[in-house]
Structure 1
Amino acid sequence: MKPGRLIEFMEKMESGSVAVFPGAHEIRRNADTDFEFRQETDFYYLTRLNEPDCVAVISPDHPEHKYILFVRPRIREEEIWTGIRTGVDGAVGIHGADAAYDISRLDEILPKYLQSVEKLYYKFGGDGKFDQRIISAITRIRERARGGIFAPTTIIDPSTIVHEMRLRKNEEDVANLRRAAAISAEGHVAAMKHCKPGMFEYELEAIVEYVFRKNGATGVGYPSIVGSGFNTTILHYNSNNERIEDGDLVLIDAGAEYNVFSGDITRTFPANGKFTKAQQAVYEAVLAANQEVIEMVKPGVSFMALHEKAVEIIAGELLKLGLLAGDRNEIIEKESYRKFYMHRTGHWLGMDVHDAGRYQVQNDWRKLEPGMVFTVEPGIYIAQGTEGVSEEFFNIGIRIEDDIVVTENGCEVLTNGVPREVKDIEALMKESVIIAL
């Protein structure tokens, strides 16, 4: 049986068209060692086939072969080393393809499915080498024009269909995201409970990721960020190799991957379990933005309105803290707040941590709909030596990030399993706990 998402995509394709989706390749790390394989997300979303070097061809108007897979052959000598493959028979019998071929025959067979089809759904720019194979296939078809066949004359980015599908999650998707968020929360809670001055950032990273795996995650949805002190002010810091000092804040941005869906949580907490006055003041400023934005979430609200609300709150809080001076409206208009808050308030979340889906539609910001999932993650970052700032605020980087699903009447916060309030964080960090192996 064909995968349901593939059938839905096929039904949305224009008449007289064919689509080609290449899967991911194994990527060399060094010498003869590869990075852990991660399937190309659109390919997996449609096919549920999680092997390297596969290609899917979708041809709704073909009389027999509407879904074709090219896969690696089953070779016993290779399977001994790297595991059992789906193979040509499995592509048909397990994954529902109407026809399947050895991937080595792609350049020979692909032109047969592209010929005399007016429109080709293919995303150029994702894989330069595969782009050339598509161009070569089209060229070979054009060379045979006197035989009465023709090559596609219109190229359509399949993202226009598949990314709109991925943007709206069904119940199964939300259940996977809910579980990914719950596992992610467990990891963050464990880090808070075990954090002590003198530890290294990578020790907390190890605790977080151990808890992820122990609770059923397949790994992380993205490289974990564990920054302390000055490193909390580096947005995508992930060296995670500094010693955590007494008085430091610790910022952890980490999410578990579960059934190919990613959690994405950021929490910031004091290494010694007690916020300083300045740390707490900045933290509560960010928390105010986080909570007010979440309260806004419901169908019909534009994605941009959420960011505008966060900016409004952050700008006002920066004035209260004495980090900026003047009129709030002027600060927003001139974007003076970007000295301390330089990123957007959220992003779509799903199979990719920065998930598929346009933020604007016909030059207007997209309105939220039930089933959309995204993050809310305001922040304030004050690096040491920031001009015009009192030293008590140096090296305070705060981000509070939660995962939100839009419901029929409002929203569900998926990440309530890890505390946000100052009093709750400090209470949690007083608990003496050793991770159970």
Structure 2
Amino acid sequence: MTIVHEKTSTQLPGIASLPMRDFKTHRDNFFDKMENNSIAFFSAACEVTRSNDTEYAFCQNKNFYYLTGFNEPDALLALLKIDNNQQSILFSLPKDKSHEVWHGRRVGQDKACQYYNFDQSFVLDELTSLVPEYLNNLNQVYFCFDNSEMSQQVFTWLSHVRSTARQGTKVPEVLIDASPIINDLRLIKSANEIEVMRQVNYISGLAHQRAMQKTAAGKFEYQIETELLHEFSRHGARHPAYASIVAGGDNANILHYTDNGETLQDNDLLLIDAGGELSGYAADITRTFPVNGKFTAPQKLLYQLVLDTQLTVIAAIKPGITFAKLNQIANEYLTQGLIDLAILSGDLAQLLIDKACKKYFIHGLGHWLGLDVHDVGDYQNNENKEQCREFVAGMVLTIEPGLYMPNDDYELEEQWRGIGIRIEDNIVVTEQGYENLTVNSPSTIIEIEALMNDKE
């Protein structure tokens, strides 16, 4: 069965970013989850040295960014809730003319309050004196337990407060992991967050179009990667959300192939898994297409099976459904399709029990998407490792079925070997069902071949 795949067209929108009031809303939402007479700490990322005196491109800690919108390293956010009064306090690097000549301007403490809506802002050097004062007589401290440096710092502060007990100080007795709270907040996107993700998907779709049009036998995989990066950047997504996978032929059977160094061969498929990042939010799109612009007969059969599986799964998305149910739909469709192609044989019901299609569909069906490519949020796995969390409006996720048939699998007929296919779209759960954000990246055989053979 072939499912009609309808897409809408749109013009390139203006560059979106979250207004500062949204970051304050994120803080307010976290405050609502805090107990009274408590404090929460979130640290910014540090710069990471690449070699000698050069650093990698700075990437802010995503929880810190979600709560602040502040994009400098080595900062700290404190959320203080006393007698139900809320204060957001930023500690950051000071203004420094000498440093700024070499490395760029800093926000400084005055603008941090004016522009980012913090209640107070101090230089980092004041942490040592002020934080113990905040901690005195509080009941609880929130921080992300998986952040080892933050954990160590909190225990140091608590130890300092405890050492002054003779002066009448009282150390908080309850430590609470902030990760589950902020993970749940980040899982449900606001309208503005979805608009940013809609735009980064559109930009990323343009990049996938460009890659299809620039691909030809004899080019290197990395040359196609540069076309992607060019298109991301020229539309405002200045960084990729993750290392791009540009995998020709049998390289597509390596799930996280990022060498991107081999020559593209005629009659092979090219799998590209790539997405841009815009205002911190990621796109994650995969397309698979023929290097020469024309699917071979075996490629076409497998590709259509993956595409129809994906569209069947996406059509089922609505509030209340789970990844577990979507996986059931995908496995049933893929298994029957592999039987029809004589790649699997036997009774459908037994093959489903045996999870026979997982030999060729070797990864998960999808994941949460947002500030991280594999975004935070509890999947609520049961004892059978099935993901049972019910979808609600505002969740964003990927749907990415695939089939992988490596050259060295000699149980396969030769016509299937060396083929790796994945198709991945980004989906928002809506009150009515879903919205596919990946609207302008061709995925049907007709669309792909038409685009690739129109080089103008």
Following TM superposition, by how much is the alpha carbon of 1:331 offset from its aligned partner in structure 2, in angstroms?
Answer: 2.3
Query: Does residue 395 in structure 1 map to residue 395 in structure 2?
Result: no
- Distance in 1 between residues matched to 2:407 and 2:250, nearest whole Å: 7
Partners of 2:145 and 2:151 within 8 A in 1: yes
Distance 1:63 1:289, change over 3 A: closer
Deviations 1:20-43 (A, max 9, x none): 000111011111110100111111
Give the length in aligned residue pairs.
Answer: 432
Following TM superposition, by how much is the alpha carbon of 1:362 offset from its aligned partner in structure 2, in angstroms?
Answer: 8.7
1:29 corresponds to: 50
- Distance in 2 between residues matched to 1:147 and 1:303, nearest whole Å: 55
Distance 1:79 1:15, change over 3 A: same
Deviations 1:362-399 (A, max 9, x none): 98711111111111100000111114111211110000
Q: TM-score, normalised by structure 2?
A: 0.91
- Distance in 2 between residues matched to 1:362 and 1:385, nearest whole Å: 35
Query: Does residue 99 in structure 1 map to residue 120 in structure 2?
Result: yes
1:380 alignment partner, one of 403, 409, 419? 403
One-letter amino acid matched to 2:276: A
Partners of 1:3 and 1:48 within 8 A in 2: no
| RMSD after superposition | 1.8
2:166 corresponds to: 146
One-letter amino acid matched to 2:33: K
Q: Secondary structure at the match of 1:3?
A: helix
1:120 corresponds to: 141
1:431 corresponds to: 454
1:407 corresponds to: 430
1:418 alignment partner, one of 438, 441, 447? 441
Deviations 1:26-73 (A, max 9, x none): 011111110100111111111111110100000011798711111001
Following TM superposition, by how much is the alpha carbon of 1:209 offset from its aligned partner in structure 2, in angstroms?
Answer: 1.1
Q: Runs of 5+ in structure 1 lacking a partner?
A: none
Following TM superposition, by how much is the alpha carbon of 1:240 offset from its aligned partner in structure 2, in angstroms?
Answer: 0.7
2:314 corresponds to: 294
One-letter amino acid matched to 1:427: A
Matches within 5 A, 1:75-224: 75-126=96-147, 128-224=148-244
- Distance in 2 between residues matched to 1:54 and 1:290, nearest whole Å: 42
Distance 1:329 1:383, change over 3 A: same
Distance 1:328 1:145, change over 3 A: farther
One-letter amino acid matched to 2:334: I
- Distance in 2 between residues matched to 1:62 and 1:68, nearest whole Å: 17
Distance 1:332 1:144, change over 3 A: farther
Following TM superposition, by how much is the alpha carbon of 1:345 offset from its aligned partner in structure 2, in angstroms?
Answer: 0.6
Following TM superposition, by how much is the alpha carbon of 1:428 offset from its aligned partner in structure 2, in angstroms?
Answer: 1.0
Partners of 1:107 and 1:133 within 8 A in 2: no
Distance 1:362 1:108, change over 3 A: farther
2:75 alignment partner, one of 34, 54, 57? 54
Query: Does residue 371 in structure 1 map to residue 394 in structure 2?
Result: yes
Q: Runs of 5+ in structure 2 lacking a partner?
A: 1-20
Matches within 5 A, 1:190-269: 190-269=210-289
- Distance in 2 between residues matched to 1:338 and 1:58, nearest whole Å: 46
2:39 corresponds to: 18
1:329 alignment partner, one of 339, 349, 355? 349
Distance 1:63 1:337, change over 3 A: closer
1:359 corresponds to: 379
One-letter amino acid matched to 2:365: T
Partners of 2:145 and 2:178 within 8 A in 1: no
- Distance in 2 between residues matched to 1:79 and 1:340, nearest whole Å: 53
Q: TM-score, normalised by structure 1?
A: 0.95
